[in-house]
Every structure is written in structure tokens, then in C-alpha cells.
Amino acid sequence: MNPINGILSTTRYRIWTGCSAVILIAVVVHTAFGISLFRQSPQSSPSPPASTVNRGIKLSKENGRNLASANSQNHFSLQDFSRQQRGQRPSSDRTSYPTWEIESQFKEDVFTFVRIQYDSIGRGRRGGQWRNDYPDCDWNFSVRLHELTSIKVDPNGKVIRLTDQSLFDHPFIYFSNINRMSLSEPEIVSLRKYLLKGGFMMADDFWAPESWKHVYREMKRVFPDLEPRELPRTHEIFNIVYDIQGVPQVPSIIAWNQGHTFEYWHGDPQGDEAPHFWGFFDKNDRLMALLCHNNDIGDGWEREGENKEYFKTYSERVSYPLGINIVTYIMTH
């Protein structure tokens, strides 16, 4: 979609607005009333993956929408990646993931999961930290957003840098593992312009106070006159579609397999292992940036089929509900 491109024609803007309104009304109604998969009743409990190979995951036995067969015409089986060692993983096979055709009238007006490529300090200026959880995270979330809502979604997603002109064609951008992110001055200027024009950034998977200090410094370069505010649990991103239950925190499956809910390799938590959701707001109090500190929301998307308990505890309870809430929130605000 093209909500923030300042050079859009009036006609183009009206088309986008009309399409968005129709889609978003359908999303809210369809998701809130037609899908009860994350708000389980006492009589209904989620059905986990039948195996780690078959990722046809049914989340609700009764009224809930079927995650992997939400589209009744297509039963999708997502590829399994069993990764037992951190940093060791096979290559992702795109053909093992679902895809779909975008209707011609929506070719220019679909939601695209846009991941930002950035440079990092340490381990080489052009390090690969931006690739964390990629591409499985991006593909899985796109599949679930497509299946569980009425939003028109690009199945492939996109990776761009902040200086790419296509940045302004997308309302949502995603950063991962930003504890050593280093933005150039042109990237800072572009990100500031993008956010002030109506764009939204989600930053995920950075842990411990030292990581927060680094991210804070980078964001203050973007907005020298703004201070982040921590979002309370009453904020709409926690309940606009799905009411998030319990602590909204997701550790990586590697940390979880070690018996932890905190990713200690990022640094000493210094007594604070709680999740924090920091927001930067514009002068109209619009949420422009959401920084998910002490969280790995993306691992709940990437690793959804690897372990039944991890799926139920984190992918189903936090990662997917929160992701859908965030997309719905930014598209309606």
C-alpha cells in the first residue's frame, strides 16, 4: 500500500484510502467475530502440530479459525527446520512455503512484510545481524496474516535499505536484532522522514540494558527532541483484535530449550528480565515506532512448527496475536 508517499496523486490516494477502509473493516469484523483461535474458551484448547514435519497446525477445536487451513481451498504445510544449535541452520527452501496469486486489482495495494537491511558495529560494518530469523520469520508471518485476516498480503515480503525509494510505498517496516545497529546519516534522515510521513517501524529481538542504551542512542539520532514512552498493558496493541494473556514475552527457542525465558547471551539483564514495549509518538500522539525490548517476537513466527509446547506457549499465545494486533493497529490509526 502507498499511504505515505508524498508524491502520490490525489486519485491514487483516494483509491488507496477506499481500498484500505474496505479491507480493514473486513479484517476487524472477520478476525474479531469469525476467529476465536487465540481467545480460547474453557471448553476449547488449541491443537498443536501433529509433528515437527507437518506444520498443518489447528489452533482451535471449535469456533476458532484453522491456522493452516484458514483458506478452505488450500491446506498449507509449512517447511520444518530443526535447528538445535544456535547459528547452525539449513538453507530455507521457498518452494516449501505457501504462496498465492495476488488479484490484479490489488497488485499495487497489498500489505508487504518489509525487513530493513542495516549495517552493524563490530563483526564487520556490513554484518548480517539484520538477517536474524530471516526468511522463515517473514514468510510464516505473511502466511498467517493472509490466512487469518482479510488483508491482501504479498506472500514473499521484501528486504530493502532505508535509502531505497520504495520505502515510502510501505506502511510497515521491521528491524531484527538491532543491539549493534549502525545507521548512516542518509539512513537517519530517510527513517525520520518516513516515520513523520505516516510510516511505522517495529524493532524486535534486543535484550538487556546495554542493548537498550545502544538502540536509544540510535533512535535519538532520528528524533533528537522526542523521548520514548513505555506502552502500558492497556494499550490497544495488546487487545485491539486479540487480548494478549499472560506476560507478552517470547524467548528464542534456543533459550527456551535451555530452560530460560531470557536470552542471556545478549548481556547481563542487571535484574531486569521483563519485556518492555517502547514507543516513539509524533506531535499528534500517533505511534510511529515500537521497540520490543527483552523480546524475540520473530522467533515465535520463525520456529512455529519445531516444538509443540513452544508453539502453544509463545507462537500461539503471543507472537501471532501481537503481530496481527500491530498490523491492524497501524492500518487503522
The verdict on residue 86 lying in a domain is: no
Are the C-beta atoms of residues 218 and 289 closer than 8 Å to each other? no
pTM: 0.77
What pLDDT does residue 89 have?
Answer: 53
What pLDDT does residue 126 have?
Answer: 55
The verdict on residue 4 lying in a domain is: no
Query: Which of these, 151, 150, 201, lies nearest to 4 by C-alpha position?
Result: 201
The verdict on residue 186 lying in a domain is: yes
Mean pLDDT of successive 10-residue stretches along the chain, which has 333 residues: 39 38 43 36 32 29 35 34 40 86 89 96 67 90 96 96 97 96 97 98 97 98 98 97 97 97 96 98 98 98 94 97 98 92
The verdict on residue 1 lying in a domain is: no
The verdict on residue 3 lying in a domain is: no
In sequence order, the β-bridge partners of residue 200 are: 172
What pLDDT does residue 83 have?
Answer: 35
The verdict on residue 211 lying in a domain is: yes
What pLDDT does residue 122 have?
Answer: 72
Number of domains composing the chain: 1
Give the structural domain span for 54: 10-80+95-332
The verdict on residue 172 lying in a domain is: yes
What pLDDT does residue 48 have?
Answer: 32
Amino acid, single-letter form, for residue 144: R
Cα separation, 302 vs 177, in Å, equals 14
The verdict on residue 72 lying in a domain is: yes
Taken in order 267, 270, 274, 278, the sign of the CA dihedral is: negative
